């Protein structure tokens, strides 16, 4: 029997052979009564000896005095450590150490800690799983909960490539996490999931799916019939809107008219007097469009009637109904 064994089974607190007992342990991890300890727990104690003896540190489960493990040949003023495996969540554990310098030993106080509960699996996703026609831009949300009352961080992921969508930090233990998923296409199917952590454990949600809506572009103001004077360049600016933006414009008569990227219609050349039938379309990036048909009338101003025509144009612009009257007065339009 060596001296360490003798002391372990004999009187633990006496000095022998002139060696001083290892110092009392005051620095250890986990701290006494610490909550939220990871079940992958490493016990550690800071040990020292008045004689600077090399130390052996035995870690014990205080519940049944079973040995967890021994860290040998620890220098004085160093930290001894030992992994305590097999722990389960939300349970109280007690432990102590016996430090020996080869001749005398010291038993520590008994310390207690409580293991962490992982956050609950995130629930109540929005958009709901399998939901169709989800409005753009898409705002994701999930409810998160931690039974320990821990502060939570939530990561939102695109399940198709595991890329990160957004992070929301420092939520309370019973809260809703939000994220904007930007850049999504219309009529697209998307999958996503979340991971929540309380700083110790992480919990992954299920994966959810949704399909985005289709939006058709809409006119800001419906295009109307227009009258312009022959020989004068003109621009008629029309505008449409879409959640995904207007990406292109189309006009039926590209011989006589141009339409640019901003929806500005202009004459492509000097136009003959007469009535031109126009159809235009505004397209979003996904090929959905709105269309409008109207007339552009080119008139030659006859000087004696010019004042009256200008008046009629003005009235037309205000009321939008006097074109019929105007057309009946055929002397004002050369066909």
Q: Does 284 sit near Ca ion (CB under 5 A)?
A: yes
Q: How far is the CB of 289 from Ca ion (least distance, A)?
A: 9
Q: Does 241 sit near Ca ion (CB under 5 A)?
A: no
Which residues from 121-150 bind Ca ion, rule CB under 5 A? 146, 148, 150
Q: Does 51 sit near Ca ion (CB under 5 A)?
A: yes
Q: How far is the CB of 107 from Ca ion (least distance, A)?
A: 15
CB closer to Ca ion out of 171 and 309: 171
Q: Does 71 sit near Ca ion (CB under 5 A)?
A: no
Q: Does 153 sit near Ca ion (CB under 5 A)?
A: no
Which residues from 289-318 bind Ca ion, rule CB under 5 A? none
Which residues from 212-231 bind Ca ion, rule CB under 5 A? 215
Q: How far is the CB of 143 from Ca ion (least distance, A)?
A: 16
Q: Does 198 sit near Ca ion (CB under 5 A)?
A: yes
From the list 145, 189, 191, the residue with the least C-alpha distance to 171 is: 145
Q: Does 20 sit near Ca ion (CB under 5 A)?
A: yes
Footprint on this chain of Ca ion (rule: CB under 5 A)? 19-20, 49, 51, 53, 101, 116-117, 146, 148, 150, 198, 215, 242, 244, 284, 288
């Amino acid at each position: 029997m060596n001296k360490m064994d003798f002391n372990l089974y004999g009187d633990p607190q006496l000095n022998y052979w002139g060696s001083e007992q290892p110092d009392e342990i005051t620095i250890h991890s986990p701290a006494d009564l610490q909550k939220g300890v990871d079940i992958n727990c490493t016990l550690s104690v800071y040990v020292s000896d008045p004689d600077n003896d090399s130390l052996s540190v035995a870690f014990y489960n205080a519940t049944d005095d079973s040995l967890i493990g021994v860290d040998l040949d620890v220098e004085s003023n160093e930290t001894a450590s030992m992994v305590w495996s097999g722990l389960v969540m939300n349970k109280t554990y007690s432990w102590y150490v016996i430090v020996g310098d080869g001749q005398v030993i010291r038993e520590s106080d008994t310390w207690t800690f409580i293991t962490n509960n992982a956050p609950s699996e995130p629930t109540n996703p929005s958009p709901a799983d399998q939901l169709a026609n989800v409005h753009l831009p898409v705002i994701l949300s999930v409810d998160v909960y931690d039974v320990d009352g821990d502060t939570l961080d939530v990561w939102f992921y695109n399940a198709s490539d595991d890329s990160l969508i957004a992070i929301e930090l420092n939520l309370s233990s019973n809260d809703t996490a939000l994220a904007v998923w930007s850049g999504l296409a219309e009529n697209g199917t998307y999958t996503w999931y979340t991971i929540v952590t309380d700083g110790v454990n992480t919990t992954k949600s299920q994966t959810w799916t949704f399909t985005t809506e289709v939006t058709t572009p809409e006119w800001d103001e419906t295009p109307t019939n227009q009258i312009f004077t022959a020989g004068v360049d003109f621009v008629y600016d029309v505008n449409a809107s879409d959640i995904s933006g207007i990406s292109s414009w189309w006009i039926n008569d590209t011989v006589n008219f141009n339409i640019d990227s901003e929806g500005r219609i202009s004459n492509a050349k000097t136009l003959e007097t007469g009535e031109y039938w126009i159809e235009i379309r505004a397209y979003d990036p996904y090929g959905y469009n709105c269309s409008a048909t109207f007339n552009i009338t080119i008139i030659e101003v006859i000087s004696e009637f010019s004042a009256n025509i200008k008046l009629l144009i003005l009235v037309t612009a205000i009321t939008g109904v006097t074109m019929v009257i105007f057309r009946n007065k055929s002397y004002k339009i050369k066909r």
